[in-house]
Amino acid sequence: MTNLTRTVSDRQEPTPIPAPSAAPPTQTDTITATNKAARDSVGRRIRRAGLGDPAAARVLDRVTAGERIAPDEAVLLLEGADFLALGRAADAIRRKRFGGRVTYLIDRNINYTNVCVTACRFCAFFRPTHAPDGWTLSHDELLARVAETEAAGGTQVMIQGGHHPDLAIDWYEELFSRIKAEHPEITVHSLGPPEICHIAEVSGLDVPETLSRLAAAGLDSLPGAGAEILVDRVRKLVSPRKIDTDTWLGVMEAAHEQGIRTTGTMMMGTVETPAERVEHLARLRDLQDSAGDGAGFRAFIPWTYQPVRRLWGEESSGYEYMRLLAVSRIFLDNFDHIQGSWLTTGDDVGQLTLHFGGDDLGSIMLEENVVRAAGKAGTLASVERLAALIRAAGFTPAQRNTAYEVI
Ligand code: SF4
């Protein structure tokens, strides 16, 4: 479950990560050393980009002419384009499609268990099986949270959790059926590809059958959780037990074939290089080409890795994030929506993303204590705050649903 690091609601205390030992080196030490050069070079190359590379400027001319660019050209833009020229090119595409409108969603991210057998190296949320502080919410507890979400004006729940070894498909079918019976207006946008594969394995099913049974029970769409970086070199380092790139894309393809819409995501800022970020975008663009218009991915949502303790290289800056966002808008010419992040990058960068290709600021994730203590009033305060943020950046805010329809 990738976006646990951006969860506001249901946040758990992080697992203390032991300090690296002096000798022999831990695997973390080895990873840090191995990737320091790659991560440092990201900073060096992108700092150099402030001057503007003439070759990148020629690529931007092609973008302005409405041409699709190749992956190596996207790398050139990511590393070498003049910052403001890059932003202007992405903004022009975004304004042509969406004018001055910026959308947002009210939803709740509900974690159903922190028990997980996958043990990703970046994750501070999970607990091993039988850990004393492992927990799993009951269906009644989960239904109560869905009810709170609806009462507070939310339209979507994103139910995600660890890879629990004992939860088979009937547990999810019963949960989704009850949500649909008791809250038919709520959209169930839940379970990323790694969870789908885990449920399939625990249940002795294949992925298409798992998806069709979950959809029949009430699963509406899939978030792009667990994508991290869709390059196996990176995945082996940051989440070695998680599904590989082809499997992640295969789940999304199977979902698209059944008419289940999804989102694409990226968690940037661990060990990946600029070329690997673009490779990730290229894999998403290729899959979306095969899905066709009005199907497949609805949006691309990148965010920055938020460490409890830094495991790899240097942290992604807001500058680096905005370059990636702008290149995403330009390169992913078959994606409708590009979401800027304010949760992991802060309000200021969130506003600026709207000038670098972003047309959506994602969700106002209801905070559990806000919902309980303040009910609707607390939620409205959050909505007003985000709307004010959007207006102050020069755009018109609009609430949307999961399908990106303004409501
Ligand atoms: S799969 Fe498990 S360890 Fe990996 S991010 Fe999700 S909860 Fe954390």
Domains annotated for the chain, with CATH where assigned, are 2-399 (3.20.20.70)
Ligand 1 centre distance from Cα of residue 141 (Å): 21
Residue 161's pLDDT is 94
CA gap 352, 102 in Å, rounded:
12
pLDDT, averaged per 10 consecutive residues of the chain (407 residues), comes to 33 30 38 50 52 88 97 96 97 97 93 94 89 96 95 93 97 98 98 98 98 98 96 95 97 98 95 96 98 94 79 80 97 97 83 97 64 39 85 97 96
Residue 190's pLDDT is 98
Ligand 1 centre distance from Cα of residue 138 (Å): 20
Instruction: Give the list of residues 6+ apart from residue 302 with CB closer than 8 angstroms, or none.
Output: 265, 266, 267, 268, 321, 324, 325, 328, 339, 341
Residue 24's pLDDT is 36
CA gap 344, 395 in Å, rounded:
21
Instruction: Give the list of residues 6+ apart from residue 68 with CB closer than 8 angstroms, or none.
Output: 333
Among 178, 327, 336, 205, smallest CA distance to 264 is for 336
> In whole angstroms, what separates CA 153 from the centre of its chain?
23
Report the nearest-CA residue for atom 5 of ligand 1: 1
Ligand 1 centre distance from Cα of residue 133 (Å): 16
3-state secondary structure of 142: helix
Yes or no: say if 252 and 262 are a contact pair by the CB < 8 Å rule.
yes
Ligand 1 centre distance from Cα of residue 126 (Å): 6
Ligand 1 centre distance from Cα of residue 178 (Å): 26
CA gap 315, 313 in Å, rounded:
7
Report the nearest-CA residue for atom 7 of ligand 1: 162
Which residues, judged by CB distance below 6 Å to any ligand atom, belong to the binding site of ligand 1? 1-2, 4, 116, 118-120, 123, 125-126, 162-163, 194, 239, 242
Substitution site in 163, 167, 229, 270 for ligand 1 pocket (most atoms within 8 Å of beta carbon): 163
Tell me which residue has tokens 């409108």. 101
Residue 264's pLDDT is 98
Output the pTM of the full model: 0.86
